[in-house]
Amino acid sequence: MCSAAALAAASLPEDAWAGPGDPVAKLLSGLSLEQKVGQLFVGYVYGDNATAPSAADAAANTARYGVASGAEVVRRYHLGGVIYFTWSHNLGGGPAQIAALSNGLQAAARADAGIPLQISTDQEGGIVNRIGAPLAISPGNMAAGATADPGAALRAARVSGQELLALGINVVDAPVVDVNTNPRNAADGPRAFGDRTAAVALFGAAAVAGYRAAGIGAQAKHFPGLGDTTVNTDNGVAVTDETREQILATHVPPFVAAIAAGVPSIMAAHIVAPALDPSGAPASLSRPIVTGLLRERLRFDGVVVTDALDAAALAGLTQEQIVLGALDAGIDQLLMPADPPRAVRAVLDAVAAGTLTEARIDQSVRRILRMKRALGLFDRGDAPAPVVGTPEHLQTMADIAARSVTKLKGAGLPLAAGSSVLVTGWGVSTTQTLTDGLAARGLSATRLWTGSPSPALIAQAVAAAQTAAATVVTTNNAWSDPTQVALVQALLATGRPVVVAAVGGPYDIAYFPTAPAYLAVYGYQPPSLAALADALTGRAGTPGRLPVTIRTPDGASVLYAFGSGSS
């Protein structure tokens, strides 16, 4: 995957980067090799407290890193960045807990090498959202796209960025700027702004501008674009068979726009694109893609980070092949290696063996330090008592959600005041939140959550629908779940009024085109469900317009064109 010659040749002379008065050069000169290598890595730690994790989290850290607390991990490995997740128990205690965790990890980083820590999370909004209430949650990219107003993306990003900064999170792993040209895309779907290159470029650049206005670092992903694929690289190998010309014309321009908007970081995907690299290397480990296309052709000299290195797409490679292959490709930051101690040792051993030069490491560390300085991380103190979810912020997200609701078919809408309504379908919390919302708006609403239903549960839903004035059935990627399709078809067969509400991508209507009423809200965050309840009850209109084209399942015919929708 990489060669000693290529790694050595990747070096540039010191004076190619900065003059002697450059503050980044001064910072770099004060770091040991081990500290510089640590800056290359972004990892996760377990626990909601930097120095006093629970016994279970201490055991998990010890098993992964050999030390018990997140602060010890940062110090031992000199980590350049930490990424937060719910499953690593970083985010469960509310804003004050998250801010305290950030402050504790920053204290450990500063005590080690004096270099502030990059702290990030995947707060995209919509279906990928790590921190919920009381934060103001974005309805997501495709919802913003459905407003046909790039300003919506800017405002959502600015609010989200401001609230993350209040928690001590200084980089957001967003926005997704993939062009979702494949309706059966398991990686993107409503995470994308749409399926038109020009529109995605406009909305992506607006989001980058919003994050910049908030003072947080953004990360455009997933280069060179996952929009044409069907496999999520977290779960397997994703390959695009598009030509080089197709990729450059369709999927790369949004990254060009993000670069022009000042995005400081770009994430390289694990996608295999033979037209860009005939070797079959994933983009994250491909020198023709990272250095040849992103660095040289697009002239991006910011930080390039891999997608998660523990992804199934890389399962056939060793830790050494992965981390050294990424550095050979031109990568700066290595995200979540499966075995961090082994990954760090692989880099140090390569330097000791002479197959990787310290000057090559300096290239990437210089970019990382430059980004941290540009984001003001060296000047920031502890995160203050966090103020999030202000009325103004909540209203911003609610307005975007309300403007995104898209009605493709509307028989029987709005639902009659005081009528009995069955809410059923996908989503445990989604169906409950929608039921509560309809009840609060004067309907007699009952709930039967089905998820991916068995025949017995479908029969139960059909029986309940027979006694209701109308049924609202929620779907999410029903194109990949035949049981959801079976449920909707069985409800339609009753002859009773049925409204289908798509709370993921809008493509589901292709699988039950006879549905008399169909609304798309592109996500299931509270603002989207509140907007859906308003639309169902006639309290608000349906101004959203499709940011994608919906075709028949075989792709042969267009059912609803880009821009479709009725108020």
SS3 call for 556? coil
Per-residue pLDDT band for 11 (boundaries 50, 70, 90) equals very low
Quote the CA–CA distance of 370 and 433 in Å, as a whole number.
Answer: 44
> Would you state the pLDDT for residue 180?
97
Per-residue pLDDT band for 7 (boundaries 50, 70, 90) equals very low
Per-residue tokens: 85? 């997740």
Average pLDDT over residues 180-193: 94
Please name which of 221, 214, 207, 222 lies closest in space to residue 143, comparing C-alpha atoms: 207
Q: Is the pLDDT of residue 536 over 80?
A: yes
Per-residue pLDDT band for 17 (boundaries 50, 70, 90) equals very low
Per-residue pLDDT band for 325 (boundaries 50, 70, 90) equals very high
Rg of the chain over all Cα atoms, to the nearest angstrom: 24
> Would you state the pLDDT for residue 221?
97
Parallel, antiparallel, or unpaired for β 470-475 and 498-502? parallel
Residues 220-269: tens digit of each pLDDT? 999 999 999 887 788 788 899 999 999 999 999 999 999 999 999 999 99
Type of residue found at 19? G
Q: Pick the more confident residue, 382 or 351.
A: 351
Quote the CA–CA distance of 151 and 399 in Å, as a whole number.
Answer: 12
Residues 131-149: tens digit of each pLDDT? 999 999 999 999 999 999 9
Strand segments (E) across 219-349: 219-223, 265-268, 303-306, 334-335
- Maximum CA pair distance of the chain? 79
Please name which of 232, 316, 306 lies closest in space to residue 266, comparing C-alpha atoms: 306
Positive or negative, the CA dihedral 112, 115, 116, 117 is: negative
Contact 74, 112 (CB under 8 A): yes
Task: Provide the whole-model pTM.
Answer: 0.94
Q: Is the pLDDT of residue 530 over 80?
A: yes
From 14-28, 97-111, 365-379, the region with the lowest mean pLDDT: 14-28
> Would you state the pLDDT for residue 238?
87
Per-residue tokens: 47? 């626990």
Mean pLDDT of the chain: 94
> Would you state the pLDDT for residue 130?
96
Per-residue pLDDT band for 384 (boundaries 50, 70, 90) equals confident
Parallel, antiparallel, or unpaired for β 517-520 and 444-449? unpaired
Quote the CA–CA distance of 231 and 422 in Å, as a whole number.
Answer: 35
Per-residue pLDDT band for 274 (boundaries 50, 70, 90) equals very high
Contact 528, 392 (CB under 8 A): no
Q: Which helix (H) or strand (E) holds 157?
A: helix 150-166
Quote the CA–CA distance of 499 and 476 in Å, as a whole number.
Answer: 14
- Inter-CA distances, 32 with 15, 38, 430, Å: 20, 10, 51
Per-residue tokens: 88? 């690593």
Contact 306, 282 (CB under 8 A): no
> Would you state the pLDDT for residue 393?
98
Per-residue tokens: 422? 């069955």
From 222-236, 287-301, 369-383, the region with the lowest mean pLDDT: 222-236
User: Angle formed by the axes of helices 358-374 and 319-329, to 10°?
Assistant: 70
Parallel, antiparallel, or unpaired for β 550-551 and 558-560? antiparallel
Q: Which helix (H) or strand (E) holds 41?
A: strand 41-43
* 414 cis-preceded (ω within 30 degrees of 0): yes
Quote the CA–CA distance of 265 and 241 in Å, as a whole number.
Answer: 26
> Would you state the pLDDT for residue 386?
87
User: Angle formed by the axes of helices 197-214 and 253-260, to 10°?
Assistant: 30
Quote the CA–CA distance of 258 and 383 in Å, as a whole number.
Answer: 28
> Would you state the pLDDT for residue 381?
84
Please name which of 469, 419, 338 lies closest in space to residue 65, comparing C-alpha atoms: 338
Phi/psi at 500 (5° precision): -95, 130
Type of residue found at 69? S
Contact 47, 97 (CB under 8 A): no
Q: Is the pLDDT of residue 2 over 80?
A: no
Residues 444-466: tens digit of each pLDDT? 999 999 999 999 999 999 999 99
* 506 cis-preceded (ω within 30 degrees of 0): no
Phi/psi at 317 (5° precision): -110, 155
> Would you state the pLDDT for residue 8?
33
> Would you state the pLDDT for residue 73?
98
Q: Which helix (H) or strand (E) holds 207?
A: helix 197-214
Per-residue pLDDT band for 20 (boundaries 50, 70, 90) equals low
Per-residue pLDDT band for 70 (boundaries 50, 70, 90) equals very high
